[in-house]
Structure 1
Amino acid sequence: MRKALKGKDFMVFVGGKAIALATSHTLTLNAETSDISSKDSGMWSDSEITGMNFEISSESIGSAKEEEAVDISYEELFDMMLAAEPVDVICGIPKNQSNDGVPETGWTVPDGSTQAYYKGKALITNLQLAGKSKENSTISGTFTGKGKLAKVTGGVGG
């Protein structure tokens, strides 16, 4: 029987580390299309898929960088964005999923043994740090895919 995937369990890892204090993640897969309508199509247009792309967005509460941090902070994402190089991204349920908060050694990258996950390379194309009076600061990031997004299943149904 299928079981609901809890949003709290779906995480984004950048360079092997979970994004710190995340509140929301979105993985979007898009198909690019081309119009292939002809006179034979009648009055309905016809399309075909000509390409694929993906984008990941992340929302989190702002956090200060710590010396031995087990997750990734704004400062690290900032440096990665300025480097203008692709980063490794993984979306999925951590191997050490728990309802007890962050494990002492941090969240562990999924391995596909219990749930499929998605991995690829992406460019950090948007990074925002916002702070409102009397509220936690927030961080928003957009990761634009560079190349293929792979589904990794490991021991999950092949």
Structure 2
Amino acid sequence: MNKTIKGGALMLFVARKSIACATSHTISVTMETKETTSKDSGGDWTTLEAGILSWSAKSENIASTGTNGYTYDDLVGLMIKREPITLVMGPKAQEGQDVPDGGWTPHEGKGRTGQAFITSVEENAPNGDNATFSVDFTGTGPLSPVEAVAAPANVAAAAPAKTAE
């Protein structure tokens, strides 16, 4: 039997650090198609072939200050650099509800990861309500499963030898 996943269990991470005060994340994977309909395919139905894959992600957040996750200003700074960043969408590694110092980090071996450009950062400051911001990412290259970090092969060799008593 499948177990449902609550939205709060999944997070979006930039360079292995969460985006602060997130309220919602979206990731989208799309595939272009190319029409191959011809006189030989019968004419009543469109026929297609697979084309290029692409992906994007979005995060909605309450604006905040601090260092326990990327803020609006942090993300604008990264966008201005015009360089791809590593993005991960998956469960957080830490348990509990309190944000750890430095922010949440992704769980090893779970979720999806890829390189992306920050293509939009928008802040909204309504009178009498919390300021919010959204950030859009466009993937460059594949969106791959997060790989578990393997223990070094020589861990046993690095352990101190036991001495006879």
2:16 matches 1:16: yes
- Following the alignment from structure 1 to structure 2, what is the Cα–Cα distance between the partners of residues 152 and 123? 19
Aligned residues: 148
Contact preservation (8 Å) 2:69, 2:102: no
The aligned counterpart of 1:33 is 33
The aligned counterpart of 2:48 is 47
The aligned counterpart of 2:57 is 56
Name the amino acid aligned to 2:24. S
Deviations 1:43-63 (A, max 9, x none): 101111111000001100001
1:134 aligned to 128, 133, 150, which one? 128
- Following the alignment from structure 1 to structure 2, what is the Cα–Cα distance between the partners of residues 13 and 121? 12
Name the amino acid aligned to 1:142. D
Percent identical: 36
- Following the alignment from structure 1 to structure 2, what is the Cα–Cα distance between the partners of residues 84 and 153? 26
The aligned counterpart of 2:143 is 149
* Partner SS for 2:138: strand
2:84 matches 1:86: yes
- Following the alignment from structure 2 to structure 1, what is the Cα–Cα distance between the partners of residues 95 and 32? 35
* Partner SS for 1:55: strand
Q: TM-score, normalised on structure 2? A: 0.84
| Superposition deviation, residue 107 in structure 1 | 1.2
Contact preservation (8 Å) 1:97, 1:107: no
- Following the alignment from structure 2 to structure 1, what is the Cα–Cα distance between the partners of residues 37 and 29? 25
* Partner SS for 1:71: coil
Gap runs ≥5 in structure 1: none
Structure 1 residue ranges (4+ consecutive) displaced by more than 4 angstroms after TM superposition: none
Q: TM-score, normalised on structure 1? A: 0.88
